[in-house]
Structure 1
């Protein structure tokens, strides 16, 4: 990995996080290109439980967000991972992995019980995520929905991500 510094986001990083997020998803055909609006809405709702940036030479080149999810079986202290963004020029250098690993470590330090996400099957298994029978995110194929239990117990039912994941444009004032 490049010698990136992984740190908490600050208020001064907000515009850079927007730029990184837009660039990271720009050429991704499965994206609805709303990820920057989701991050903004999570921030506005104070729902960014963990929000980290990767910094290289004083510039933000990556970002990852973790926010609470709701589980229909009543299980608490589960979180959603995403979006995770790395500037295209810096992708495939381990920066995204470093952001995710540090974020998962911080969730565990907060006594989180687990984490889930929607993502690419070939990427997220390396972190211990797997497809979990009995745990679903409605409207998403099960092969791209992943969960990772930190305490060995996997909830059953439906996952609902924070309402900020419905953001599809700049927040209205």
Structure 2
């Protein structure tokens, strides 16, 4: 299987929506609004990075990155998510390839760091870790993970873009 990671194009929008909905359809940790979040980020001009994983069979994965606000005033921080892989293709390394590509894009942007909400067992292998000084209110600290790309760790409350409240 030859997997290509590439930026989204306008022609990919409907495919991303279907893929994201399918990826989270049976997940227990979700409100199943991830596809609406991606669309709302795009409409708001806040979808900083949108990468697709594609092979001979078509699009099999997607990852989104958007800016987050830190109460400390630190800038250059992004939120990763959602990250989606077709259910029948999960566990084959596609998500890992998307993660590496997303982190590469953040480095290219000169980002300071990245936060995400997710399973520590999966994301710690990419350098993400819980940071006591970075807080997302109402979320268990062990699932709110961060990686610094500069070595500087701010102490702050993190706020995601309002698009993360999208319901449709």
- Matched with 2:55 is 56
Q: Which runs of 5+ in 1 are unaligned?
A: none
> CA-to-partner distance for each residue in 1:33-62, whole Å, 9 max, x for gaps?
000000000000111111000011151110
Q: Distance in 2 between matches of 1:113 and 1:153?
A: 8
The residue number in structure 2 matching 1:141 is: 140
Q: CA deviation at 1:82?
A: 0.1
Q: State the secondary structure of the residue aligned to 2:61.
A: strand
Cα distance in structure 1, aligned partners of 2:127 and 2:93: 16
Residues 48-107 of structure 1: CA distance to partner in whole angstroms, max 9, x if unpaired? 111000011151110000000000000000000000000011111111111111011111
Find the aligned partners of 1:87 and 1:162 in 2 and give their Cα distance.
25
**Equivalent in the alignment of 2:11:** 12
* Corresponding residue of 1:127: 126
Count residues in correspondence: 168
- TM-score normalized by structure 2? 0.98
Match of 1:93 in 2: 92
Give the equivalent residue in structure 1 for 2:116: 117
Mapped partners of 2:153, 2:2: distance in 1: 35
Q: CA deviation at 1:162?
A: 0.8
Cα distance in 1 for residues equivalent to 2:6 and 2:87: 20
How many Å apart are 1:168 and its aligned residue? 1.1
Runs of 4+ in structure 1 displaced over 6 angstroms?
Answer: none
Distance 2:161 2:100 in 1: 22
State the Cα RMSD in Å. 0.8
